[in-house]
């Protein structure tokens, strides 16, 4: 761990550095958001950012496993199915075949999150989906 990160962790543990600043420092140091949340006891619910929800539109979900991993590697906090929907899991630990159910782009505005999502997944964040199910991607 580099000295800047060590100092931020020390100050965060003492309450002198807030969750957002600690996460920002960890992300700059190349730590994945979900790893930083666990390693530095960051309250992800206290962080400003943009939420993404995946919707089954047109009979399927649109993100594949590589997309979810790309979001996680790109600084997003991914809501893995095995951690967030255990009561609904398939035998292989997925929710309706999906590895994850949503994600959170910490410290990003909605526009920044949409641009990041497009760059990381090659998905069209504005896809309309089908008439009955609605859009496959929701940002808020």
Amino acid 36: pLDDT: 96
Which residues make Cβ contacts (< 8 Å) with residue 131, sequence separation at least 6? none
Residues facing 103 on adjacent strands = 52, 78
Residue 126 DSSP class: T
Structural contact between residues 77 and 34, judged by C-beta atoms closer than 8 angstroms: yes
Q: Which pLDDT value is given to residue 65?
A: 95
pLDDT on residue 93: 85
Structure tokens at 62: 């649109």
- pLDDT per position in the chain (140 positions), as tens? 789 999 999 999 999 999 999 999 999 999 999 999 999 999 999 999 999 999 998 888 899 999 999 999 999 999 999 887 678 788 888 988 899 999 999 999 999 999 999 999 989 999 999 889 999 999 99
pLDDT score at 82: 87
> Residue 83's pLDDT is what?
85
- Do residues 123 and 99 touch, judged by C-beta distance below 8 A? no
């Amino acid at each position: 761990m580099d000295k800047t990160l060590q100092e931020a962790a020390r100050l965060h543990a003492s309450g002198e550095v807030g969750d957002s600043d600690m996460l920002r420092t960890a992300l700059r140091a190349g730590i994945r958001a979900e790893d930083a949340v666990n390693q530095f006891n960051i309250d992800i619910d206290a962080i400003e950012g943009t939420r993404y929800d995946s919707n089954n539109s047109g009979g399927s979900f649109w993100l594949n496993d590589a997309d979810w991993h790309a979001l996680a590697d790109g600084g997003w906090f991914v809501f893995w199915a095995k951690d967030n929907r255990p009561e609904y899991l398939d035998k292989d630990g997925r929710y309706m075949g999906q590895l994850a159910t949503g994600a959170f782009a910490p410290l990003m505005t909605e526009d920044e999150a949409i641009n990041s999502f497009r760059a990381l997944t090659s998905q069209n964040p504005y896809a309309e989906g089908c008439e009955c199910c609605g859009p496959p991607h929701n940002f808020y």
